[in-house]
């Protein structure tokens, strides 16, 4: 490699201006962008000082220019470049963006699924059967809208589905703790401490959180995709209000730090608590009157959107991405089936659940300082949800999930006469 003069900001590539990783204890570094290799001791690349550089020997420059003490790039900027460099976009073919989730959820059933296992799971959910391309379930459903939201997809897929039998949990909370008896139960959300089999939530079609603006629940993901995409086009990145935004009830204390920061520095954040069904006094909204609810489309005006978990995974997350705003996703414990497709620093900014108001202020300052990188993350997040979380992808996930699950059954499905047939409305 030929010698060249080197006189640029420390930590940035002299060839392309891209960021360089921090120097390890030994070895050199490779530019994330142009892949140029730089040696730490001058034996691969010899750095020659120039007239405008500080007066120092070649040896001093080569020794310290990329040292951990001398290097200056923000750690978050390094995380972005590393994440983007390692990211491989997925394909929509046969819902392959989510295939690993199905494989991982079913991998624990190494010896298959017996009739007894399904029977033991029945008191934790609703029993469903598909027999001769007809759908059956328990007579009672504790959450009718949730059952209807699931059944929309099952009914549409009946001509393609094999005879099968499964137990679906319509509650928010998963049922199969990792160190408890292994049971095959479908749940919409879980953490790593549970072994439930994830399915697409009912709210892709019906149900979901019911608030004043959406009294029957959020529902109809296809319609929200249209309305949010339309609203996002009115608020391109350059027009968005350069402020963080959040509206929601106080279901978790994790949200308090952002709300407090909003009260201290409203020019940075607009975060307020709304009422929920459990609201009794201003103590439930952190000592302030509850704010009015806002539509999902209203969020698109803002450049930075915060997402927090609710009782389990948040139903709002997928909607926020479609605004083309930068999503700050707080916590990584709770999952829905599509979460693994989303990568931190590639599609969203990861935020620890225990973050303080001071740390939030610093994080928002970082976002302001590196606006171009933030816009790129927002764009990638919007595109991955728009392209790989369509209703067709949800339908595909259900089909592949049930086909793969059914191959694990160690018994022949026989129609249960105690179940009722579910027909389309």
Q: What is the DSSP string of 24-75?
A: -SSS-EE-TTT--EE-SSSSSS-EE--TTS-S--HHHHHHHTTSTTT----H
Mean predicted lDDT score pLDDT of the chain: 86
Over residues 256-280, mean pLDDT: 91
Query: Residue 96: CA atoms inside 13 Å, Cβ hemisphere, count?
Result: 7
* Residue 297 backbone dihedrals phi, psi, to 5 degrees: -65, -30
**Active-site residue, 100 included:** no
Over residues 156-176, mean pLDDT: 97
Catalytic residue chosen out of the listed positions 15, 58, 163, 172: 172
pLDDT of residue 41: 45
- Whole-angstrom distance, CA of residue 146 vs CA of residue 177: 23
- Whole-angstrom distance, CA of residue 354 vs CA of residue 331: 8
Q: Scanning the structure block, which residue is given the tokens 């698109």? A: 300
Structure tokens at 338: 């599509």
pLDDT surpassing 70 at residue 1: no
pTM for the complete prediction?
0.82
pLDDT of residue 284: 80
Using DSSP, how many helices (H) and how many strands (E) does the chain show?
11, 15
DSSP 12: B
- Whole-angstrom distance, CA of residue 228 vs CA of residue 167: 34
pLDDT of residue 92: 79
Of the pLDDT bands very low, low, confident and very high (cuts 50, 70, 90), residue 178 is very high
Between 403 and 285, the more confident residue is 403
- Whole-angstrom distance, CA of residue 72 vs CA of residue 67: 10
Domains of the chain: 1-73 (no CATH), 93-201+393-422 (no CATH), 221-335+339-388 (3.40.50.2000)
Q: Are 171 and 419 in contact (CB under 8 A)?
A: no
DSSP 213: S
Q: Where does 96-148 show beta strands of DSSP type E?
A: 126-131, 134-137
- Whole-angstrom distance, CA of residue 291 vs CA of residue 299: 15
Q: Which residues pair with 291 in a beta bridge?
A: 274
157-167 exposure pattern, b = at least 16 Cβ within 10 A, e = fewer: beeebebbbbb
- Whole-angstrom distance, CA of residue 291 vs CA of residue 273: 6
pLDDT of residue 357: 96
pLDDT surpassing 90 at residue 279: no
Of the pLDDT bands very low, low, confident and very high (cuts 50, 70, 90), residue 71 is low
Structure tokens at 72: 């200056």
Q: Are 325 and 303 in contact (CB under 8 A)?
A: yes
Q: Are 341 and 309 in contact (CB under 8 A)?
A: no
Question: Which of 350, 344, 415 is closest to 136 using CA atoms?
Answer: 415
Among 239-253, 263-277, 360-374, top mean pLDDT goes to 360-374
pLDDT tens for 392-404 read 999 999 999 999 9
Question: Which of 404, 329, 340, 337 is closest to 196 using CA atoms?
Answer: 337
């Amino acid at each position: 490699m030929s010698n060249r003069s080197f006189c640029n900001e420390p930590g940035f590539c002299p060839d392309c201006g891209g960021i360089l990783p921090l120097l390890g204890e030994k070895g050199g570094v490779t530019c994330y962008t142009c892949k140029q290799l730089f040696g730490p001791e001058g034996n691969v690349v010899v750095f020659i000082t120039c007239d405008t550089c500080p007066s120092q020997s070649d040896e001093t420059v080569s020794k310290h220019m990329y040292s951990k003490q001398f290097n200056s790039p923000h750690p978050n900027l390094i995380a972005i470049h590393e994440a983007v460099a390692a990211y491989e976009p997925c394909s929509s073919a046969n819902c392959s963006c989510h295939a690993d989730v199905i494989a991982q959820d079913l991998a624990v059933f190494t010896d298959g699924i017996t009739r007894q296992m399904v029977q033991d799971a029945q008191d934790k959910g609703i029993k469903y059967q598909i027999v001769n391309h007809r759908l059956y379930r328990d007579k009672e459903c504790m959450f009718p809208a949730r059952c209807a939201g699931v059944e929309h997809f099952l009914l549409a897929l009946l001509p393609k589905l094999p005879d099968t039998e499964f137990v679906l949990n319509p509650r928010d909370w998963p049922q199969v703790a990792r160190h408890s008896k292994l049971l095959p139960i479908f749940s919409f959300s879980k953490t790593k401490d549970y072994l439930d089999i994830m399915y697409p939530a009912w709210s892709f079609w019906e149900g979901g959180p019911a608030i004043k603006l959406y009294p029957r629940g959020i529902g109809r993901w296809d319609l929200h995709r249209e309305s949010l995409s339309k609203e996002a086009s009115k608020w391109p990145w350059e027009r968005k209000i350069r402020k963080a935004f959040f509206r929601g009830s106080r279901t978790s204390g994790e949200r308090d730090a952002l709300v407090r920061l909003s009260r201290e520095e409203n020019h940075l954040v607009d975060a307020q608590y709304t009422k929920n069904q459990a609201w009794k006094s201003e103590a439930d909204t952190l000592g302030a009157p509850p704010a009015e609810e806002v539509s999902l489309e209203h969020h698109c005006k803002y450049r930075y959107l915060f997402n927090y978990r609710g009782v389990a995974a948040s139903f709002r997350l997928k909607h926020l991405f479609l605004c083309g705003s930068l999503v700050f996703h707080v916590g990584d414990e709770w999952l829905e089936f599509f979460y693994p497709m989303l990568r931190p620093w590639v599609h969203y900014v990861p935020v620890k659940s225990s973050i303080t108001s001071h740390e939030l202020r610093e994080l928002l300052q970082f976002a302001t300082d590196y606006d171009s990188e933030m816009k790129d993350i927002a764009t990638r997040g919007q595109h991955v949800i728009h392209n790989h979380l369509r209703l067709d992808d949800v339908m595909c996930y259900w089909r592949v999930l049930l086909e793969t699950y059914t191959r694990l059954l160690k018994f022949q499905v026989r129609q249960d006469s105690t179940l009722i047939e579910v027909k389309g409305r």
